[in-house]
Amino acid sequence: MIRSNPEELIRKTMATFVDKELIPRAKEIDEKGEFPMEMFQQIGRMGVFGIRYPKNKGGSGGNTTLYCIICEELARGLMSVAAVTAMQCLMGTNFLFYFGNDELRERYFLPAMEGEKIACFCLTEPEAGSDLGNVSTSAVRTDDGYLLNGMKTWVTNGPVGDFYTILCQTDPVKKFRGLNFFFVPRETPGLSISKPFDLLGTKSTPISELALTDVHIPHEHMLGQEGRGMSNMMSILAEIRAMTAALAIGLQQAALDDSIQYAHERAQFGRTISNYQLIQAKVANMATDLEASRLLTYRATHMVDKKIPCLKEATMAKYFSTEAACRAGDQITRIFGAYAYSMEYSAQRYYRDNRFLLYGGGAHEILQPNIAKWVGL
């Protein structure tokens, strides 16, 4: 009996969905600039959101490698849809699944797996981006819970979220050891959400600020043991960086595919531009970057799945792949020439959307020194 390879099966399934359902609507979704609710719910019905979680707990029984294949294929279709899916599968639901009580998982996690509720993850603050030790959003313990005050920014899905996992400081003296995650439903009094930011790219991934003013939550809404917030965050950091790398791979593949097609169709001086060495060099560089990105990324995901520490490998994958996606976004505009300046063609979207990848999972100005230290500098 021949068994299907799960990785090949999930890639084929998602590629078919992307080709038939997402790519034909990508331009429309991007230009509309609104959360793609219909597409989001369709993806939820496919069981995608539960890919990292066990079947007997409401998930789909997959792993990080399958999750990243899904992210890659969706990003090949449209980065905005891939980004909201990535958030739902990992950061937005991870702490709720592992540290929420049964009631919270029943009310929020299970509907999120079906695409019926939207999850958000809140780390960044106006004065605390890469420097999470400077988080000032406070959680003060009371007799019957915690009182939360502060502000978060760059919250993916913030304007449409149904629940938020929020990093707060419970003891400023302890710095990182005082950080903890808290679960806050949207309807909680004192929680307010700003209007969506006007973004350069990923136009249909709504991002906003979130303010907490005397937000009261019960004790059981602390997600994880007190003082373990950053430790729990570090436990999924390799996955976050590998996922970001996978998104970058999807964009690279889309840019390469469109570049090749255009080069075969566009004629100048009596022959298609695919015959010119400078165009060939650009395509060759894009293809080589893509292959290297895949090797780095899926080495990291397989290490995650085997529970082998791989923060260095995942960081290298994120750094290289996202820089390669920026190079691909630039090269396609050069291959398309003036047509890349038109909103009618996909080249401009790849050029805009690749910037989204630079910031999630760690700014490269932080990642590069870390990589240097890991290799002995």
Under the banding of pLDDT at 50, 70 and 90, the label for residue 186 is very high
pLDDT level of residue 127 (50, 70, 90 thresholds): confident
Provide the β-strand partners of residue 207.
156
242 contact partners, CB below 8 Å, separation of at least 6: 64, 68, 297, 300, 301, 304, 314, 317, 318
Same domain, 242 and 369: yes
Same domain, yes or no: 140 and 123: yes
Asked if the structure places residue 57 within a domain, the reply is yes
> Token pair 């806050």 is at which residue?
184
pLDDT at position 356: 94
Whole-angstrom distance, CA of residue 158 vs CA of residue 151 = 12
Report if residue 1 sits inside a domain: no
CATH number of residue 368's parent domain:
1.20.140.10
Give pLDDT, residue 360.
87
Give pLDDT tens digits for 1-18.
Answer: 445 699 999 999 999 999
Domain count, the chain: 3
Pair 370, 259 in one domain: yes
pTM for this entry: 0.95
Whether residues 126 and 100 share a domain: the answer is no
What CATH number should be reported for the domain holding residue 29? 1.10.540.10
Share of the chain above pLDDT 90, in %: 92
Let me know whether 266 and 201 are in one domain: no
Q: In the listed set 229, 247, 275, which residue is the last one of a domain according to the structure?
A: 229
Give the mean pLDDT of 89-107.
96
CATH number, domain containing residue 160: 2.40.110.10
Sign of CA dihedral 58, 64, 68, 69: negative
pLDDT at position 128 is: 80
Average pLDDT, the chain: 95
Phi, psi of 226 (to 5 degrees): -60, 135
Report pLDDT for 24.
97
Mean pLDDT of 336-343: 95
pLDDT reported for residue 1: 41
Q: Are residues 195 and 68 in the same domain?
A: no
Same structural domain for residues 213 and 268? no
Residue 259 within any structural domain of the chain: yes
Q: What is the mean pLDDT of residues 310-332?
A: 98
C-alpha closest to that of 58 among 117, 9, 10:
117
pLDDT at residue 129, as a whole number? 77
pLDDT tens-digit series, residues 50-60: 999 999 999 99
pLDDT of residue 3: 57
Residues 365 and 236 in one domain: yes
pLDDT per position as a tens digit, 263-308:
999 999 999 999 999 999 999 999 999 999 999 999 999 999 999 9
Pick the more confident residue, 332 or 172. 332
Query: Rounded mean pLDDT of 190-212?
Result: 96
- Which pLDDT does position 134 carry in this prediction? 83
What domain range is 47 assigned to? 6-113
b (16+ CB within 10 A) / e for 29-53: bbeeeebbeebbebbbebbbbbbbb
The dihedrals phi and psi of 223, each to the nearest 5 degrees, come to: -100, 95
Are both 18 and 81 inside the same structural domain?
Answer: yes
